Amino acid sequence: MKSYRILLLAAFSSVFLGSHAPAPEGGDRAERLVHVADSLRMEYRFSESAAVYREALSATSDSIRRLDIAEKLLMSENGLNMMGFVSRPSVVAKHRFSTEDFFLFYPLADKCWVPVPNQLDTLGTHPFSRASYVPESAGRIYYSAPDTSGAMNIYMTEHQDSLWSVPVLLNEGMVSSGDEIFPMLSPDGNTLFFASSGLYGTGGYDIYMSSWDEARGEWGEPVNMGFPYSSPYNDFLYVNTADGKYTVFASDRDCPRDSVDVYVLEYDSMPVRKEAGSTEELRKICRLDPEGSLDDLDGNSEVSAGIPENVDTRRYTQKVSEVRGLKDSLYRCMSAIDHARSQLAQSGDDEEKQRLSAMILENEMLIPAIQDTLDRAMAILQKIEMEFLFNGVVLDPDKIVEEADKEVVGAASGFAFTRMDPRDSLSLRFRVPEKKFDYSFMILPQGRFAENNELPSGLVYQIQIFTLSKKADVKQLNGLSPVFESRTPTGKYTYRVGIFRTYNDVLSKLNAVKKAGFRTAYIVPFNDGKVIKMAAAKAMEQEIRTVYRLAMSPEGGVLPDLALRAVRQAGVIDVVKVDDGGKIMFTAGPFESLRKAEETAAAVRAAGVSDVSVEKIGNMTSK
């Protein structure tokens, strides 16, 4: 025990004498232990931090605090697991920038970033997500914006005719208890990269990738990119360049507040992930020190003297650089294919053949995208040259080439970080969202007819209110909703209200209907849309076992991971997210016993969701 205390003290001293904040004054033992464990985790000492988190768990009985500690313990355990699959990318360059404009130094198109607040992110309060990526030619936009609780979620909208579609969340797998920021598509459009502070990770923002599932028509389960792209710090804005040469991302590891380092790595289409042998090795890998000299780095490249400094000449220089880089990428891609094919013809090893075949396929898939980008870049370059010629502008060709050479991205020449211009504003016209009809029984100031008069399959009940020789109008409904219309064989119009799954449910609403002015109202049972006798309906209901479900309305419309875990542990697979007129609700079930449903509801409340109720449903037969 004494040696363990010395270990804690040593860890406490070594960590807090560094760049981390000092331990809190006062506070209880659990708080001090958590502070030590946090610092150990930030130093990639996951095994030690996990041990201290466990001790902190035993030092407190506060259920809310225990949930927080358990979540941090999971981060350390995640870190231990992730140490077995570590990439070792080749680092070309890194440079430190302000969090206010670091994204403008990415090798992307000019005026593709719109500072927040803007039309997509109207609040603009996030400490890292300071702009939305909206290329001028984009037909589909993925962006991050706060929901009603302030949590950042990823939305998508696409251009349809002259309007943009109603923004939608991608899927439940990309919605966590934290924030999701900086969604960026791969050049081929099949992979989405983003950062999250609430998914499986080691703390802070980690970087994730999701692949498009063509068969299901949706994005697949997000996968943590692992070390060194992710870390216990904040890592985000992961981009693979269109020329297929580089990977760029940002992180605040080892940075002062309000600053981030932007890392440029050589793109690796088939990274080899190996176990990190020690904490020291992992820490060294995650430092991502460039392999070459940093003397060539330029944090604010501008068009040099000898060339007129204006937007047009800078755009021309950048476009020359882009064209040269794309031609080089195309050549390297084709050379790689030829080399791989030569090796494939000589190889006798099946595993090596499989690897080479995959490499050839990977490069062949890149060529059309690179060629298309090159063609468009060449067209723009020629247009700029014609504009110069028309305006009588004469530029020194040698100086242009010199500036273009400076902008070429490459390990041998260094990486010139050039500041792009932001886009001034957004003016997107969106479609008006369609409101979904609510088929729940209600008495409103004005009644409503059902949008669809078809009844669901199985056993249901309705309350018949009247039969008329001509169509009824809304005033005659006395506020009832939803009211269904049907025709009798004699041509009259019959009106019934509601859809109820059990006799007790419909009976509980019958008096309300009568009080609404329909004193002769009565219950009508249906099976698969056809009227049946009440005795037959009650007999059928006896054969239906009573099952339950949970209705959960978390704050901000995001179900915490711990709550979802509690539901999954109860053996429930069916968790459905419902948008009820802007209010997000989740249902989970079925539960075959009331006791199991109530126990799970208690666990969900302990996980931070206070609005939880158990509902009885009766639509599962006992056969």
Q: What is the mean pLDDT of each run of 10 residues along the chain (623 residues)?
A: 39 38 58 93 96 94 88 94 94 90 92 94 91 91 86 91 88 81 94 94 95 88 94 97 92 90 90 91 94 44 40 65 70 74 77 79 80 81 74 59 44 66 89 78 93 90 96 95 95 95 90 94 95 93 79 84 81 74 81 82 85 76 44
Give the pLDDT score at 528. 92
Helix axes 311-346, 397-407, angle to 10 degrees: 60
CA neighbours within 13 Å on the CB side: how many for 405?
8
The confidence score (pLDDT) of residue 303 equals: 31
Angle at the Cα of 442 (from 439 to 443), degrees rounded to 5? 145
Q: Are strands 223-224 and 206-213 parallel, antiparallel or unpaired?
A: antiparallel
User: Do 527 and 540 form a contact (C-beta atoms < 8 A)?
Assistant: yes
Helix (H) / strand (E) element for 378: namely helix 350-391
Q: What is the 3-state secondary structure (H, E, C) of 265-283?
A: EECCCCCCCECCCCHHHHH
Number of H helices and E strands in the chain, helices first, is 12, 26
532 in the Ramachandran plot: left (φ > 0), alpha (ψ -120 to 50) or beta? beta
Residue 21 confidence (pLDDT): 42
Does pTM surpass 0.85? no
Burial class (CB in 10 A: 0-12, 13-18, 19+), 541: middle
Q: b/e per residue, 398-428, with b = 16+ CB within 10 A?
A: ebbeebbebbbbbbeebbbbbebebbeeeee
Distance CA 174, CA 469 (A): 53
pLDDT score recorded for residue 13: 39
Q: Is 621 helix (H, G, I), strand (E, B) or coil?
A: strand
pLDDT, position 414: 56
Angle at 129 between CA 40 and CA 407, to 5 degrees: 100
pLDDT score of 27 = 47
Residues contacting residue 315 through CB under 8 Å, at least 6 positions apart: 110, 384
CA angle 14, 18, 23 (to 5 degrees): 75
CB 7 within 8 A of CB 48: yes
- 73 exposure class (CB count in 10 Å sphere: 0-12, 13-18, 19+): buried
pLDDT at 252: 96
CB atoms within 10 A of CB 471: 10
Per-residue tokens: 464:
């018949």
